[in-house]
Chain A
Amino acid sequence: MAKQEGEVILLDFWASMFGMRARIALAEKGIHYEYREEDLKNKSQLLLESNPVHKKIPVLIHNGKPVSESSIIVQYIDEVWKDKAPFFSSDPYARAQARFWADFIDKKLYMTGRLLYSTKGEEHEAARKEFMSCLQLLEGELGDKPYFGGESFGYVDISLIPFYTWFQAYETYGNLAIKHECPKLIAWAKRCIQNKESVSKTLPELEQVFGFVQQMRKKIGIEE
């Protein structure tokens, strides 16, 4: 039975791991929405008005009301459409741990990952070590569970799986062997893609993202 969803618009950019979180969350809940691709060099008036503080994607606009910041969007989606595919356990401890790990991913993985493809020399070396140590912590946290949420795909899985699309770029430009160092994470990523349509239908190909990062490096003048 389709509920009254109202009007749902997502302002996004195809390669953004943060945007992918919102897309996966909407797909998990079966929400029909309008996807609008933003040109980040020429942001739309709607984006600038909907997120005047940060002027960033993703922005979810639900019945005219904007919600910004991917983690906040994912939680909003979970809370509004709460009768299907909950992203969190009902146990407050498990919920707190999930929030902690999603926050860890936000604080550490993105910025360090960026340094992997945009820097050289000492800064690059430091970023390599930091990035691998973050992934190893996540590998440890996942352990032998099928998903970070345990038996069910949940909030932390949604927060992290988009980063998998950037792994080819991270491995190549970070000179890393993620498959060897974090086999459980790789198995988990493949499991998410295989078992969850919300993931397989949302995520771009790793090669596509790699091509995008290659272009970015040329623009910022990092030699190949």
Chain B
Amino acid sequence: MTNKSEIKLLGTAISPFVNRVQFVLNLKSIEYEFFEENLACKSELLLTSNPIYKKVPVLLHAKKSPICESLVIIEFLDEIRPDVHQVLSSNPVERADNRFWANYIDNKFFPLYGELSLTLGKDGKEAIKERIVEGSMLLEGAFVKLSNGKAYFGGDDLGYLDVVLGCFLAWTKFVEKNNKFKIFDEGRTPRLMEWAKRILSHKAVKDVIPGNEAIVNFYIVLQKYRQAMAT
């Protein structure tokens, strides 16, 4: 039985990688203490808990070694509380499929958002937007296949890919507005559009996912930081 102070999550409210861990903690009714990090001035605790990457999220549990990397943390949580809301299927084929798409989302799809932001020039931006749109269609295909006609990737309730992809929805909206295009769209990705509406009002998600204002504020700070680094 975990009590509140036993699990600590180092993170920032704005980070989708932190948010997805929070979704899982909520789904599994695991109480935790949240430590908001200032990424411009990282705490000693963060730097010593994650000396290799110095990034959030980091999960600290009792006196054990810190656990870093959001997908590693999620599988860990599934293993320490297997009896409450299993996130990743126990079927090896389904696990492999889910892990494949999580890898695609984290290593191919989401990095395109950052690339789009860092690319100057219309042609460059258009090329990246096309790649994002292609990616969204791959994800639509994955949703159709894995949801099996049900509401979520995980079936009747949230599963692994729901939390892995769902955490990016607020940033997706922001990138769409900022760049005047649709990533998820009624015509191209109808199932994901429905899924997005549904998951954003899910009780494990709605109070975690940041609002647009928080993202806009963060983005302004990020751009200032980038400009400062460039000069």
Contact = CB atoms under 8 A, between A and B. Distances in A.
Q: Chain A binding site: helix, strand, loop or mixed by DSSP?
A: helix
A221 interface: no
B93 A100 contact: no
B139 to A, nearest CB: 11
Contacts of A137: 52
A94 B194 CA distance: 39
A92 B76 contact: yes
B202 interface: no
Contact of A76 (B72, B73, B79, B95): B95
B118 interface: no
Contact of A93 (B64, B95, B99): B64
Nearest to B138: A53
Interface in B69-107: 69, 71-73, 75-76, 79-80, 92-93, 95-96, 99-100, 103-104
Interface in B36-75: 52, 64-65, 67-69, 71-73, 75
Chain A: interface residue count, which band?
20 to 34
Interface residues of B, number: 22
A22 to B, nearest CB: 12
A79 B92 contact: yes
B65 A67 contact: no
A99 interface: yes
Q: Sorted from nearest, which 6 A-B pairs have the closest CB atoms?
A: A79-B92, A92-B79, A96-B76, A76-B96, A99-B72, A67-B96
Given A53-B104, A100-B72, 9 more contacts: A69-B100, A72-B103, A92-B80, A93-B64, A93-B76, A95-B76, A96-B75, A96-B76, A100-B69
Interface of B: 52, 64-65, 67-69, 71-73, 75-76, 79-80, 92-93, 95-96, 99-100, 103-104, 138
14 contacts: A53-B138, A69-B99, A69-B103, A72-B100, A76-B92, A76-B95, A80-B92, A93-B64, A93-B65, A93-B76, A95-B76, A99-B69, A100-B69, A103-B71
